[in-house]
Amino acid sequence: MSVPFDVLAEPARRRILDLLLERPRSVGELTERLALTQPGTSKHLRVLREAGLVTVRREAQRRWYELRPEPLAEIDAWLAPYRRLWAASLDALEAHLDSQADEMTEQEDVT
Amino acid sequence: MSVPFDVLAEPARRRILDLLLERPRSVGELTERLALTQPGTSKHLRVLREAGLVTVRREAQRRWYELRPEPLAEIDAWLAPYRRLWAASLDALEAHLDSQADEMTEQEDVT
DNA sequence: CGGGCATATAACCGAAGCAGTATGTTGAGG
DNA sequence: CCTCAACATACTGCTTCGGTTATATGCCCG
């Protein structure tokens, strides 16, 4: 579970990261937005913490969880050699759509 | 499980994709390299197939599995907003290392 | 110092995932 | 046809995971 891939397999954890992308948040706040129980949220946060994807700052009883994106680089690195492949097919799609657009401007009356 | 994130949570499946990155391969070949049983390999391939990450081409009794990277774009898309964040910290690291390198060239005798 | 708030940890349960064994399926070749 | 080769599917046991309820911890405040 300590690998970023496993951590991100859980939708709730991806949502947490998405929420932290905007700004640091408290457990209560996250719990509310996730529609989970508080212990459930805490459990996911623990996993994220142990994977190094978040850090905690204590303030009285409140704990502010904060994003730490570095471990995501591992995923990005794995993804890298594949990126050019689907990029190529997307380019092909774009080219296709572009040529269609061209045809349409040439005809000028395709409803 | 149909989401790319879940599919990639399994190390064996990532290895399969890595192997298919080089060229299409038969089930037997993959089984050998993964040190799995043949049914185990077939099972992972089924998951990859259902997620659209591989396609099959039949040739007599042999089946050639082939990479289909498009679904990985979903992961890449999710990753996108985070990329600039860790990129920033990596830049900072680079800058730091660069400045160290500078210092070293200035001194010229750091063993 | 006692009570309440915010959060963490523990204990428990059901569901799902993975690996392995056994068996089914399809095509080639004698 | 019969058999073998390559692969898929079925079934089973085990482990792990995610969610919930119950309880512990730490801190502020009256």
Q: What would the pLDDT profile of B64-76 be if each residue is shown by its tens digit?
A: 999 999 999 999 9
Q: Do B79 and A76 touch (CB under 8 A)?
A: yes
Amino acid found at A32: E
One domain, residues B60 and B74: no
- Which two tokens mark B44? 């992972």
Which chain B residues touch A if contact means CB-CB below 8 Å? 5-6, 8-9, 11, 14, 17, 21, 67, 69-70, 72-73, 75-76, 78-79, 81-83, 85-86, 89-90
Q: Provide the pLDDT for residue A69.
A: 97
Please state, in angstroms and rounded to a whole number, the distance separating the CA atoms of residues A54 and A21: 11
Domain residues for the domain of A74 are 70-111
What digits encode the pLDDT tens for the residues A20-44? 999 999 999 999 999 999 999 999 9
Tell me, what's the pLDDT at A26?
98
> Rounded distance, CA A96 to CA A94, Å?
5
Q: How far is B69 from chain A (nearest CA, A)?
A: 6
Out of A21, A81, A82, name the one closest to residue B82 (CB): A21
- Residues of chain B with Cβ-Cβ distance to A83 below 8 Å are 72, 76
- Same structural domain, B13 and B46: yes
If asked whether residues B32 and B85 sit together in one domain, one would say no
- CATH, residue B32: 1.10.10.10
Interface residues from chain A to B (CB-CB < 8 Å): 3, 5-6, 8-9, 14, 17, 21, 67, 69-70, 72-73, 75-76, 78-79, 81-83, 85-86, 89-90
Whether residues A58 and A85 share a domain: the answer is no
- Judgement on whether residues B10 and B63 belong to the same structural domain of the protein: yes
For B75-106, the pLDDT digits (tens) are 999 999 999 998 777 666 666 656 666 555 55
Say if CB B49 and CB B55 are below 8 A apart: yes
Do both B19 and B62 map to the same domain?
yes
Residues A89 and A108 reside in one and the same domain: yes
Same domain, A77 and A57: no
Q: Are residues B94 and B81 in the same domain?
A: yes
Are residues B14 and B63 both part of a single domain? yes
As a residue count, chain A comes to 111
Total count of domains within chain A:
2
Q: Are residues B58 and B10 in the same domain?
A: yes
Same domain for A77 and A61:
no
Residue A66 token pair: 């904060």
